[in-house]
Amino acid sequence: MIHRQKLHWSKHLAADVTTGITPEQEALVRRISGSRTLGRAARLRKLLVDIVAHAGTPEELTEQHIGIRVFGRGDGYNPADDNIVRASARQLRSKLKEYFETEGRNETMVLDIPKGAYLPVFSPPIPEARAPIHDASLPWRWITPMTVLVVFTSWLAVDNARLRTLSIEPDTLMGQFLAASPGPVRFVLTDSALPHMNTILGGPPALEQYSSRAFIPEGERIAGQNPTLSRVWRGLLDRQITSLADVGVLARLLQTHPSSARRIELRHAKHVRTRDFKTGHFIITGSHIANPWAALFEPGLDFVPDRGMIVDRHPPRGAPSEYRMDVPPRRDWAVVAWVRNLTGTGSVLMASGIRFEGTEGAGEFLLSSDGLAEARRLLQVAPGAAFPSFELLLETSSMEGTAKASRIVAWRRHEGSFVARVR
C-alpha cells in the first residue's frame, strides 16, 4: 500500500512525498536515525531519510537525483566524476548492519539497502543468521524471498502513467536479453541454504536428488548424530533463503529496465522443476553449488565454476585452463552465458560467480552500457543485430566485499542453435 504523508520526522524534507513504507517501517527509520550508531553521522542520516522518503518514487532514487538533493551537487552533477553517493551508500549499509547487530538486535524488522541500487528493503529478521554451523555464523548476506517481494512491491506500486514518464532506458546486455525474450521471464533465486547443507552432506547433491528432495534422509541421518547440527539442518531445510547478490541484481534490473518489471516472475530454486525449463525464458544467478539448476546448462559450456575456480574446458593454445581467486581475495571470476532452454524454444541468461562478489559483478556488467559495448565488440555483433548464444568469462575486482568493476577476459560465440545437454 502506498501512503501519501508528510514526513515531519525529517528536518531535511519540507514537502509532501509519496512513500512506499508503512507506519511501522517509518517508526523503524526514526529509531535508526536517532540511534547511537548514526549519532555522529548527520550526512548518513540525511541519506537514509531521503532514500526511504522516495521509496514510492524509485525513478527519483538515482545517483544524480540523490547527489543533488542530499549532497547539494549542482544540476550538472555527474556521478562518474564524483562518487560521493556510492561511497556514502556503502557507509550507510555498514552502519545499518552495525545497528541491527548491536542496539537494534531486538528489532522485529530489518532495513537494508541492497548493493547496486538505492531501494530500501524491509524484511523480518532471519534467525538463521545467528545459527552456528561448525562454529561459524550463517552469512549476513542471506535474505528471504519476502525481502525480494518488498522490492517488487515498491516497483509494482508505480502505476502505468508514471512508468510512461520515465526516461529512456539505457541499452544493456540485460535489456537485449529482455527484448529478445517476449512474455514472462522467470528469475530463479539462489538456494543459499544449500552450500551449508552440502557441508553436512559432504558434497552437493546431484540435480535429480535436489529436485526430488531425495538427499534429505541422508542429511537427517548425518545431522542426527549431533543435536546442534540437527537443529541447524531442520532450520536450513524449512527455510527459503536466497543471496543478497540476487536481490542486488534484481533491484538494479528493476531500476535500469522498469518497463520489464511486470514480466519478471520470481522462483526460488526449491520450487523449480526440470520440465519448467522446456518452455519460456529464465534468468539464473549463481553456480550449481547454490543454484543446482545451473547444472542443466553447465555441461554445454566451456567456462564452468568448479571448487573455487573457473575451469576453461577448451582453452586456446597458451591460455590458462583454470582461473583462481587471489588470496587474500581482491578479484573474483564469473561466467555470463546466454543459451537456449531445453527445447531451444526460449532463452536462458546465467550469471555465475565463484563468490558473492563475482555474481554481483556479473549482474552489474549485464546492466551497464559499457558491458554491452564490450560484448558487442568481442562477439562481433553489430548494433541492432540479434545476439547469438555465447558465454563470457569476467574478471571482477573487489574491495571490502563489494564488486568494483568487471571486464571480459575470455569469450565464446556459439554458432547456430545451442541446446543444453542434460547431465
- Each residue's pLDDT tens digit, 51-97: 988 876 666 778 888 999 999 998 888 888 899 999 999 999 999 99
pLDDT in the model for residue 59: 64
> Are the C-beta atoms of residues 354 and 287 closer than 8 Å to each other?
yes
Inter-residue contact 112 to 93 (CB < 8 Å): yes
Helices 216-223 and 194-201: crossing angle in degrees, nearest 10, is 70
pLDDT of the residue at 164: 45
Residue type present at position 40? R
**Best CA proximity match to 201, nearest among 179, 174, 229, 177:** 229
This prediction has a pTM of 0.64
Q: For residues 178 and 185, is the Cβ–Cβ distance under 8 A?
A: yes
Distance in angstroms (rounded) separating the CA atoms of residues 140 and 123: 13
Task: Give 306's pLDDT tier (boundaries 50, 70, 90).
Answer: confident
50-152-233 Cα angle (round to 5)? 110
Cβ-based neighbour number of residue 307 at 10 Å: 8
> At 309, which amino acid appears?
M
Quickly count: other Cβ atoms within 10 Å of residue 64's Cβ: 15
- Does residue 186 carry a pLDDT above 90? yes
Q: Is-contact 160 260, C-beta < 8 A?
A: no
CA max distance for the chain: 66
Which domains can be identified in the chain, with CATH numbers?
3-113 (no CATH), 173-193+239-414 (3.30.379.10)
Confidence of residue 353 (pLDDT cuts 50, 70, 90): confident
Let me know if 213 is exposed, middle or buried by CB neighbors in 10 A (0-12, 13-18, 19+).
exposed
